[in-house]
Amino acid sequence: GAGVSQSPSNKVTEKGKDVELRCDPISGHTALYWYRQSLGQGLEFLIYFQGNSAPDKSGLPSDRFSAERTGGSVSTLTIQRTQQEDSAVYLCASSFTGTGNIQYFGAGTRLSVL
Amino acid sequence: RKEVEQDPGPFNVPEGATVAFNCTYSNSASQSFFWYRQDCRKEPKLLMSVYSSGNEDGRFTAQLNRASQYISLLIRDSKLSDSATYLCVVRREGFQKLVFGTGTRLLVSP
């Protein structure tokens, strides 16, 4: 498809397990963003990748969270030793460049930590 | 205090009504402004950018008041399909991340 693709769409895991969430941005978009949306909360920025530059990790809530972007395209967000407060919808967005361009969102991964 | 504040609603209006949403932002370095729409359990989608001079897209009109750090969205002739959560979004100068309000929920009834 032409949009941002995320997988899985839903993930249920047990507390303490690690999870990996995947994002495939729109073809040609150089910038990629991860956000999360907790119940009743606004979207919260996590991390931003722009081309080959060092990512902006300023939104990652703890060192249990990490992300990488391979080959300037697909990105993986990893949460280690999941906690119940990690339960949220994790949304990925991409844009043509990092500056001034519209961010298009994927449908998200709904993570439930039991 | 949140950086972007919105009335959560819900706003319940009949079809054909005019409804306005307001949003305030606290960081004067905010440079870009948007309204996104989010349907239940769906991703946010851009509704419109907001420009200093104000801008209109069909039934939707957005206004920005930089002095008061205030953004508004006006929807005329509401349709049932307008029912959604409307997210006020800003981007600070020099930053790429978007800062979202928690959204205002609109319910349009027949």
What whole-number distance in Å separates Cα of residue A21 and Cα of residue A6? 8
pLDDT at residue A1, rounded to an integer:
54
pLDDT at B92 over 70: yes
pLDDT tens-digit profile of A48-88?
998 888 899 999 999 999 999 988 789 999 999 999 999 99
Tokens representing residue B34 in the block: 């948007």
pLDDT at residue A49, rounded to an integer:
93
pLDDT tens-digit profile of A8-36?
999 999 999 999 999 999 998 989 999 99
Chain B contact set for A98 (CB, 8 A): 96
Distance of CA B55 to the CA centre of its chain: 13
pLDDT at B7 over 80: yes
CA distance A15 to chain B (A): 24
Closest partner residue to A43 (CB to CB) among B34, B44, B45 is: B44
pLDDT band at residue A98, thresholds of 50, 70 and 90? low
What whole-number distance in Å separates Cα of residue A28 and Cα of residue B32? 23
Closest partner residue to A106 (CB to CB) among B34, B43, B97 is: B43
CA distance B8 to chain A (A): 10
pLDDT at residue A60, rounded to an integer:
96
Distance of CA B76 to the CA centre of its chain: 14
CB A3 within 8 A of CB A102: no
Chain B contact set for A33 (CB, 8 A): 96-98
Could you say which residues from 31 to 90 on chain A have a Cβ atom under 8 Å away from some Cβ of chain B? 31, 33, 35, 40-45, 48, 50, 56, 58-59
Tokens representing residue A12 in the block: 């249920």
pLDDT at B40 over 70: yes
pLDDT tens-digit profile of B64-81?
999 999 999 999 999 999
pLDDT at residue A97, rounded to an integer:
75
pLDDT at residue B2, rounded to an integer:
87
Which residue did the predictor score with more confidence, A86 or B94? A86
